[in-house]
Amino acid sequence: MNPLSPIGFLYGAITCATDPATLIPVFTKLDLPAEISTTLIAESVFNDPLGVVLTKTSLSTIGIGAHHNPIALFLSLAAGGAAAGAIAGAALEQLLAREPFKEYVVPITLGAALATWYLCEETIPHLTGYELSGFMAVAILGMYIGNRLTEHEHLREDLQFLKGFMEELSTVVRIIVFTTLGACVSLPLLKRYWLGGLLCALGNIFLARPLGVLAGTYLPPKEPLTLKERLYLALEGPRGVVPAALVGTVYTKITTHPHLLPPHITRQMPPHALAGTILVATFLTILLSVILEATWAQPLAKRLLRTR
């Protein structure tokens, strides 16, 4: 799979989102520096919605999408979704800050998130013709509310209700998503595409991720990271629920609309081979990244970060 082709870009967009939640139990035993653990978690918060936006943009580059201008689509999805999420977050903060809602804060917040999603995905595109990312909007809404409500002392109990419910909901959603991914990957698909998928997964873990992190951290902040800290960040980026959810959607779109793929794509790879390879490659990327990076998290921390 050529990483510079639209097919390679699609695979990269699907698998770029990380999920350090799978490693948090490991991190709690390592006494990691706060900067490292915070960076890994914050990275996931931001690259999850970006992965969704990039995947939708990538689908338009291979002919499966309503828009044929990927740059305009990316800007409307990312910037428009972020703006919508910030506006919705500010409005929700004004409502919740009036008085404690206790357990009722959960349905109010969940309702606001669903309403924001619907406005971005259905109402605004219907009225304006521009697509906004509902996932990006809800992610920004969550980050805004999570940061702002901590400033209101009388809402601490509300935050505990909200935090507990969202953690339980997240667990249920993860189970559903991974069960669905497992149902999509059959033995015939694995037998046919395992070698190409394995090469993509290993290249993603050992080449693409390290190069991306080292390049992205080249411009230092006020307190620059050391090379060893950057290497640790590069080698601890497990994939999780977002790639698992995205690849199922992409696989379905390609297999149900193979006629939409342009000739320059089908000459590189037939539609069903394209869908199968991306599905198996993403499945192996998730599996190997979680197993390998959980296994070497402690030895790498001791060697690179001098933890106990």
Domain ranges of the chain: 6-304
Rounded (10°) angle between helices 241-256 and 156-184: 40
Q: Which two tokens stand for residue 253?
A: 């779109």
Q: Are 61 and 6 in contact (CB under 8 A)?
A: yes
Residue type for 300, please? Answer: L
pLDDT of amino acid 99: 82
Low-confidence ranges of the chain (pLDDT < 50): none
pLDDT of amino acid 216: 84
Instruction: For residues 17 and 241, give the distance between their C-alpha atoms in angstroms, rounded to a whole number.
Output: 9
- 3 state DSSP class of 41: helix
Instruction: For residues 205 and 288, give the distance between their C-alpha atoms in angstroms, rounded to a whole number.
Output: 8
Q: Are 294 and 238 in contact (CB under 8 A)?
A: yes
Buried b (16+ CB within 10 A) or exposed e, 226-265: eeebbbbbbbbbbbbbbbbbbbbebbebbeeeeeebeeeb
Q: Which two tokens stand for residue 275?
A: 């869908």
- 3 state DSSP class of 278: helix
pLDDT of amino acid 223: 63
Instruction: For residues 103 and 248, give the distance between their C-alpha atoms in angstroms, rounded to a whole number.
Output: 34
3-state secondary structure string across 213-266: HHHHCCCCCCCCCCHHHHHHHHCCCCECHHHHHHHHHHHHHHHHCHHHCCHHHH
